[in-house]
Structure 1
């Protein structure tokens, strides 16, 4: 008589049984999905979480119920990490909104978006129920090329409904599934997600052009070698051995490489101003990010965001203080 096929392991984690004041710190200390910090987070209401996860083969499937939070993926975290999957976040209940490396995100329930952990982001979410799929970068490059279009890409309508229904059915069936059967769900996910990408980004060619490849290489040079303080068109041309005309063509959609670098610097400055500690002096932020001085940063910041860095920091600090007082 043959033995029954082994079921897949399901990892469950909850802070429900912990004292409310200990829940967030316990969750932060959890060594998952990596020992390094993936996001910088801050609760915006009393914290609680329930998570279940299972490997589908090459991908990781996660169901999460979590209270309202802010989530920040910083450039320095990306440079120090080798954990750069594409995360597909499916919003069953709740909303999320923010800035994903220059692309505005508003994700209502019934939709999903792609989140590239190799690129910076800053967003907030309400209390939510989500399904997520962690897709290794090399696998995502096969199914959803080019990867450059994915960060913040939102999929809605019937394409989203099909993926959400599959996620719900998978979660209900997980205790009964074997490694062989769960791999079929993985392929079904990838097939449906690929359809969603093509519907959400119509006309986007899966062929990577010379300009696309150069833009990706230039961004990698900024993030991994030059850093925002040293980044400039001249330095990038020297590092990549290309002409200024070639570099300009690669960043035409960004209104030029200088515009792209300025946007990245301002987004990084905004993240530093509203980071969890919020203690770095504005002059130090300006120097670290390549502005000539605090006044230079202030002028550029006011032009982009409509207020000074100091006022922006104070506004965010007041919001956090009000949230903490309410809890």
Structure 2
């Protein structure tokens, strides 16, 4: 299966190839095309074109559920009407203190499906309107400080922090941080939530910390929005053995979406700069394996000064760093592909390194592990903690069980 997410700067392909052992090989690469399209997953449209889903629609359709991932489903319909809101409140107690302006004695509709992805928790939620307030250490001791990346499939949210206010709508990616002070409200909504622990990866933590309590919009948001929908559709069929590749793909998606937004917000009001950066990235991708590619090539083909070129790539660590980063990402994809058995030396030469030693050093600086570890499958993912038996927990407490496990 292939999820193809295209946006205004780059196109990301996420290939899910299932072997006999149901191993997923998730490759992410760029092709610089425009638009948004999905193949194999539920068709994805731009938010402005997407009709609102059924208020209580839940999960994928027309396919049997066969995943062996640890997951649970909780619905207030299984609870007497007078206790439905209190059960929903208990379900989210580790994250939010919930309240409602309605008479909850008449019932409250809420449904959640949550999956334990080892390094993350992914949740699909349908809920009636409510108010929420964060849980901080001053209110109740909970050592949970995960990031929450959420997208709305229907409905709206309003969030207020001590320093800012923002609204979430369909098609927008929101970044919240547990353990921080915030409050707000939510209309009747359907949403997807990804819980990411702060100690998951330093680069992800840095990017999400810079973006916390903001909304990610434009091409980056569309990319992540479509990826989350594809993930929600496929999780019921993914096996435990698929998690390493899935974690790698999700990590790469978060970095691709959050890092540029955190470092290039100032460019949003400069269409010319954006257009030039897009052209530069296209040139780099097309000539990625050309050893002569560099500052002079880009200056000549873009018709810009050296100083302007440097400013364009300043947020990416410079022109040379960006080019090397793209080459190393392509090399990582090749090394993680079990069908690609080229020698590391050959990959190093193709990706414009003088020898395998130089390549290995650069690779380890970039990713924190060696090319050999990726080739041997030892570092294809980040360490994932074992999940406790969810069936031993009360249904309304299982989300908290998952989130505490993420914290270690």
**Interval of TM-score (by shorter of Structure 1 and Structure 2):** 0.5 to 0.7
Q: Is 1:154 paired with 2:215?
A: yes
Match of 1:176 among 212, 237, 244: 237
Output the TM-score relative to the length of structure 2: 0.45
| Cα distance between partner residues in 2 of 1:172 and 1:14 | 19
| Cα distance between partner residues in 2 of 1:79 and 1:41 | 14
Q: Is 1:41 paired with 2:98?
A: yes
| Cα distance between partner residues in 1 of 2:150 and 2:111 | 16
The structure having more radius of gyration, on CA atoms, is 2
Please, which runs of 5 or more residues in structure 1 have no aligned partner? 208-327
Output the TM-score relative to the length of structure 1: 0.55
| Cα distance between partner residues in 2 of 1:155 and 1:27 | 28
Corresponding residue for residue 102 of structure 1: 163
Match of 1:16 among 63, 73, 77: 77
| Cα distance between partner residues in 2 of 1:147 and 1:7 | 30
**Could you report, residue by residue, the CA deviation over 1:256-285 in whole angstroms, capped at 9, with x for unpaired residues?**
xxxxxxxxxxxxxxxxxxxxxxxxxxxxxx
| Cα distance between partner residues in 2 of 1:162 and 1:3 | 29
Question: Does the CA contact (< 8 Å) of 1:89 and 1:133 recur in 2?
Answer: yes
Corresponding residue for residue 224 of structure 2: 163
Give the C-alpha shift of residue 182 in structure 1: 3.5
* Aligned residue pair count: 202
Corresponding residue for residue 4 of structure 2: none
Q: Is 1:66 paired with 2:127?
A: yes
Name whichever structure is richer in helix by fraction: 1
Give the C-alpha shift of residue 77 in structure 1: 4.5
Q: Is 1:132 paired with 2:193?
A: yes
Please, which runs of 5 or more residues in structure 2 have no aligned partner? 1-19, 24-66, 266-314, 318-408
SS of equivalent to 1:137: coil
Corresponding residue for residue 114 of structure 1: 175
Question: Does the CA contact (< 8 Å) of 2:95 and 2:135 recur in 1?
Answer: no
| Cα distance between partner residues in 2 of 1:92 and 1:118 | 25
SS of equivalent to 1:118: coil
Q: Which has the higher contact order (CA 8 A, sep 6+)?
A: 2
Give the C-alpha shift of residue 89 in structure 1: 1.2
Corresponding residue for residue 118 of structure 2: 57
Give the C-alpha shift of residue 149 in structure 1: 2.1
Question: Does the CA contact (< 8 Å) of 1:92 and 1:111 recur in 2?
Answer: no
| Cα distance between partner residues in 2 of 1:206 and 1:118 | 30
**Could you report, residue by residue, the CA deviation over 1:211-246 in whole angstroms, capped at 9, with x for unpaired residues?**
xxxxxxxxxxxxxxxxxxxxxxxxxxxxxxxxxxxx
Give the C-alpha shift of residue 173 in structure 1: 1.8
